[in-house]
Copies of this chain bind each other. A is one copy, B any other.
Amino acid sequence: MEIGFLGLGIMGKAISVNLLRSGFKVTVWNRTLSKCGELLDLGASVEETPAAVIKKCKYTIAMLSDPVAALSVVFDKDGVLEQISSGKGYIDMSTVDADTSSKISEAILAKGGDFLEAPVSGSKKPAEDGQLVILAAGVQALYNEMIPVFNVVGKKSFYLGQVGNGAKMKLVVNMIMGSMMNALSEGLILADRSGLEPKVLLDVLDLAAIANPMFKLKGPAMIERNYPPAFPLKHQQKDMRLALALGDENAVSMPVAAAANEAFKKARSLGLGDLDFSAVHETLEAAKPPH
């Protein structure tokens, strides 16, 4: 099975390495071609344009940094659209909004190709370990054909129906995550100000019915007021905004998520947008008098 792969950033490289190691033939392209070197050493082929990859491979996966890049490799000169055709499948694993996905989907389908949006849950480490969770939506036949690939890339894949549902599912999960992060932050501060040891609170939480890997991972760093950016706060806040907008469209009142969103906005106003989203903790920690 010959797989094309567009985009060799942190995530794309980890995924394509896993595919090569599992015996897939992989043809890669990256905007900066020099980044393809390591993949070449591992046995990949390289093409100079997205169009050339599509021409060569029955299935092509893209993993790009943002909606602009995702649109560019499809619609620009030498892009995906120039070679996509009936019998070929295009799978976009980038995290983009539902509108961008729909635009790409329509263009691919109009040329006779098949399309799947397949954003993932999980970052660098799970990508390297083949432990991603894949939220796929679009042409179901293509999803079925891609299962062997998804099995290598992730621990679990879901088929969610029409294009856009993958993006929506990620928003819902991230919204819950954002509210939980605020719940943890408020609890840590309340413990501290009430004469309890925040570290002990983390130990107690870790034994409770609400124990979860995020609290365990982020909690100790928050106590240290240390926020190295794994998932930047401005992206978390953007996802909460989009989730609230999705709720607005559907007349869903979500007061807790709304309160959490305002805390993230507060953090942005404090200049913390590029730190990890756990830096929302600073909105409670920071306590300085006015001039």
Contacts and interface: CB of A to CB of B under 8 A. Distances in A.
Contact of A252 (B172, B200, B201, B284): B284
B265 A259 contact: no
Interface in A115-137: 121, 133, 135
Interface in A174-200: 175-177, 179-180, 182-184, 186-187, 189-191, 193-197, 200
Which DSSP category, helix, strand, loop or mixed, fits chain A's interface? helix
A183 B190 contact: no
The quantity of this chain's copies bound in the complex is 4
Contact of A269 (B162, B203, B251, B260): B251
A204 B173 CA distance: 8
Given A169-B191, A210-B213, A271-B289, 16 more contacts: A172-B191, A175-B183, A175-B186, A175-B187, A176-B183, A176-B205, A179-B183, A180-B183, A193-B247, A194-B250, A212-B212, A247-B265, A251-B273, A252-B269, A253-B265, A270-B288
A172 B187 contact: yes
A94 interface: no
Contacts of A214: 209-210
Contacts of A258: 258-259, 261-262
Contacts of A183: 175-176, 179-180, 183, 256-257, 260
A250 B191 CA distance: 10
A250 to B, nearest CB: 4
A156 interface: yes
Contact of A207 (B156, B187, B225, B288): B156
Contacts of A255: 182, 255, 259, 262-263
13 contacts: A133-B207, A173-B205, A194-B246, A194-B250, A210-B213, A211-B212, A212-B212, A251-B268, A252-B269, A254-B284, A256-B256, A256-B260, A286-B290
B195 A172 contact: no
Interface residues of A, number: 86
A168 B217 CA distance: 24
A290 B160 CA distance: 28
Contact of A121 (B156, B177, B208, B271): B208
A253 B266 contact: yes
A198 to B, nearest CB: 10
Contacts of A282: 290
A54 to B, nearest CB: 30
Contacts of A260: 183, 256
A217 B291 CA distance: 22
A161 interface: yes
A282 B184 CA distance: 24
